[in-house]
Amino acid sequence: MSTYRNGLADGYPHIYVVAQSAYDGILRGGRNQSILITGESGAGKTENTKRIIEYVLQCGGSTNDELHSLSNGVPNGKSLNGCSIGSGVLSSGILLEAFGNAKTTHNNNSSRFLLSNAFPHEMREKLLLTKSADQYKFLNQGGVSVDKEIDDVENGVSTDRVMDRLSITSDEKIEVYTILAACLLIEIDAVTSLLGVKSSRLVDALTQPSIRVGDKVIRKNQNMQKV
């Protein structure tokens, strides 16, 4: 990074050059900077975003050890209270990536960690998650339910620790995991049991969604295929 910070690589097409240009813009003009990262699925948008954030944070004084710790999860017992804005940003990125990724043609990083040994067996039983990943329709439609290059246990532990760092309470974490479990199950009886709602109301909400137009409420009929 020092090469780019010292201006020795100006003009070269590199993500650090873009990051340095934005950082210089902040220092010179005192104005917010925007960086647009585009590309197809799997092209590396998320990874390049991480590199930009890490670069700017290092320019602002964060150490390599701090950045490495944050990019790989955070130690137990630390919360957002009193932590830097930079660590909060990186922690948020880890959390959003954990829940925001699905399998595509070029990208296998979907979230399966809730089914892994990162979480106690008793907790998975309470969430009705007793099967292997390849037995859940929500996960197996892409043809690959397990990726040997992805450590679901490590990702699960890292995500749980990041939630602690962002001051997400134990009760709030359970709520998040319950909703995720409901998505994995996609079975009316199991989902309604987890979410504490009547099965008839959930079926109605899915097959006859309501929209409000002015003072009128219109119900739209949908068959199971559309649902």
pLDDT digits (tens, 9 = 90+) for 144-194: 556 677 777 888 888 888 888 888 999 999 999 998 888 888 778 888 888
CA dist 65 → 26, 62, 71, 102 (Å):
25, 8, 10, 30
State residue 55's pLDDT score: 86
The binding site comprises 39-46
State residue 76's pLDDT score: 39
Instruction: Tell me the torsion sign for CA atoms 190, 196, 198, 202.
Output: negative
pLDDT digits (tens, 9 = 90+) for 105-120: 555 555 667 788 888 8
State residue 82's pLDDT score: 46
State residue 31's pLDDT score: 86
- Apex 157 CA angle, 154 and 159, nearest 5: 105
Map out the domains of the chain as residue ranges. 1-71, 72-196, 198-227
The binding site for ATP comprises 39-46
State residue 89's pLDDT score: 73
Residue type, 16: Y
State residue 4's pLDDT score: 62
Question: Global pTM?
Answer: 0.61
Number of H helices, E strands in the chain: 11, 2
| Mean pLDDT over the full length of the chain | 77
The DSSP letter of residue 145 is: S
Successive 10-residue mean pLDDT values, the chain, 227 residues = 60 81 87 89 82 83 55 44 63 76 58 79 90 76 66 84 88 91 82 87 85 86 76
Residue found by looking up tokens 């004084």 in the block: 61
Query: Do the bridges between strand 216-219 and strand 210-213 make them parallel or antiparallel, or are there none, so unpaired?
Result: antiparallel
